[in-house]
A and B are shown apart, each in its own frame.
Chain A
Amino acid sequence: MTRLACPFCGPRELREFEFHKTGPAAGGQGEFERVYLRVADPQLSIEHWQHVGGCRAWLLVHRNPSSGLPLAVELLAGNAP
């Protein structure tokens, strides 16, 4: 993966983006689960990113961490993590 396609700015170099965290583990919805536990699926990672070096939008990114490739990039609901 060398680029990510921002829904607003189009495909941009990876350096412009900052990964924030993966989605919380499904199941338990307590504070502890939300803050600390992570889903480890080698085929699908659901992540929060920000286009810090561009429009600064918060993005919801679906990626395959085994190939590295993004599957979908969209605006994160509420534009905040």
Chain B
Amino acid sequence: MSTLPASARRYSAWSLLRARYAGPGYWRPLWSGRNLQPAYDVVIVGAGGHGLATAFHLVRDHGLRRVAVLEKRLVGYGNVGRNTTIVRSNYLLPENHYFYEDALRRWETLSRELNYNVMYSPRGVLDLALTNDDFPALARRGNALRLAGIDAELLDLPALERFAPELEPRRKRRFPIVGALLQRRGGTVRHDAVAWGYARAASALGVDIIEDCEVTGVRAAGGAATGVETTRGHVQAEQIVFATAGHTGTIGTMLETALPIETHLLQAMVSEPIKPLLNSVVVYVSPGHGETYICQSDRGGLVMGGHLDGFPSYTREGAWHRLEDVVRGALELFPRIGGVKILRHWAGTNDMTMDGSPIMDRLRYDNVFVNAGWCYGGFKAIPASGAAFAQFVATGTAPELIRPFRLSRFATGHLLDETGQGPFPVRL
């Protein structure tokens, strides 16, 4: 048997076959439990999608050798393992759609790149209009995308009926469907596989992934950070990256820098598995119950989510009334799922920025970086963010693609307020 760690072994049909005859010792952990070293070139805080992808690209693309990812809980314990797996690039603002389009293109080939099946499923993302006001707004967004060369199709009812007959677009409803915007290359990616795939690939390249290690402070001297304090002692670092998602506000507090971020909960739930009902990802805002999005997992469960709970929280306990809103919204579209049982329900802490777009910049010191503010939509960004942010950290210059996401935009007025709701994470 090969002496390489399991994480460095290539997966293939052949390796599967070999595993079948090699006995129980063949499979080993995807990332190896290495020991925390006293010093690194780059310390990344947070083993979510963004932290792990950044680590992977730092080593693979820029040749850095001593890189660690410090995680206070477990790989995948944060939002990367809690999201509803939707990927798409159909944003209105150019800064956003070019960035998310870069990510979508990378999702298309990521399984091969990581040698790990992340189950990218381009099943189509449908934004439904349930009011006459929503439809022109979708048309405007679709036109902005088409001008940028990004796929988007505006569907009237007959076209929607052809694409998704299961929605029964002409059915009589309290808020009847008016039309839809379709992005065919949008869809879903298996969220856990993204965390595991990046962790495995980074570990194979020599990245130390240290779980159960919380960063509690930053040590600085002479105007630069020198390392981090952790629950496992001091670690020296030439550069520090915070990819801490829902806890980034408190990282600001740690660095005595107030950030334009509030932490809000977002819930999701999954039903018991049922036979195939829904082929695409469906997103809509019901005038009665607010936002709902719904898709069917490969196992058959209906995955559903909606709007934020509506107030700051770190509890990860979803508010009951929001769960009710989401279920009502889902029933409005699919009355026939009324008898289906909810199997699991959970919430994640979202780093909501005051314009709803991410922040990728330095923080307080020249050698401290923050990659956060992903709000409720940062899963789809992971491959683009990892590649671009690694370039930023390795070269000191932010690539064009992520320059609009600098922190100073709040002071200079160059906001990226995709939904036009002003400096409030909760839409009123």
Residues of B within 8 A of A19 (CB): 310-312, 426
Inter-chain contact A40/B252, CB cutoff 8 Å? yes
Inter-chain contact B314/A47, CB cutoff 8 Å? no
Inter-chain contact B263/A40, CB cutoff 8 Å? yes
Q: Which one of A15, A18, A45, A68 has the highest number of Cβ atoms from chain B below 10 Å of its Cβ?
A: A68
Residues of B within 8 A of A18 (CB): 310, 426, 428
Q: Which one of B258, B310, B317, B354 has the highest number of Cβ atoms from chain A below 10 Å of its Cβ?
A: B258
Q: Count contacts between A and B, CB distance < 8 Å.
A: 78
Q: Which of A5-51 contact B (CB under 8 A)?
A: 13-15, 18-22, 25, 27-28, 32-33, 35-42, 45, 47, 49
Grouping DSSP codes into helix (H, G, I), strand (E, B) and loop, the A interface class, with mixed when no group exceeds half, is mixed
B interface, how many residues as a size bin? 20 to 34
A42–B313 CA distance with the chains assembled, in angstroms: 8
- Contact partner of A14 (CB less than 8 A), chosen from B315, B321, B426, is B321
Inter-chain contact A65/B312, CB cutoff 8 Å? yes
Inter-chain contact B258/A39, CB cutoff 8 Å? yes
Cβ of A1 < 8 Å from any Cβ of B? yes
Known: A25-B258, A65-B315, A66-B315. A36 touches B410 (CB 8 A): yes
Q: Which one of A13, A33, A38, A42 has the highest number of Cβ atoms from chain B below 10 Å of its Cβ?
A: A38
Inter-chain contact A65/B263, CB cutoff 8 Å? yes
Inter-chain contact B313/A65, CB cutoff 8 Å? yes
Inter-chain contact A36/B260, CB cutoff 8 Å? yes
Q: Which of B226-263 contact A (CB under 8 A)?
A: 249-250, 252-253, 258-263
Residues of A within 8 A of B424 (CB): 20-21
A interface footprint on B116-151 (CB within 8 Å = 1, 0 otherwise): 000000000000000000000000000000000000
Residues of A within 8 A of B423 (CB): 21, 35-36
Q: Which of B333-367 contact A (CB under 8 A)?
A: 354
Inter-chain contact A38/B259, CB cutoff 8 Å? yes
> Can you pick out 7 interface pairs between chain A and chain B where the beta carbons lie within 8 Å of each other?
A14-B320, A19-B311, A20-B424, A27-B258, A35-B423, A38-B259, A63-B312
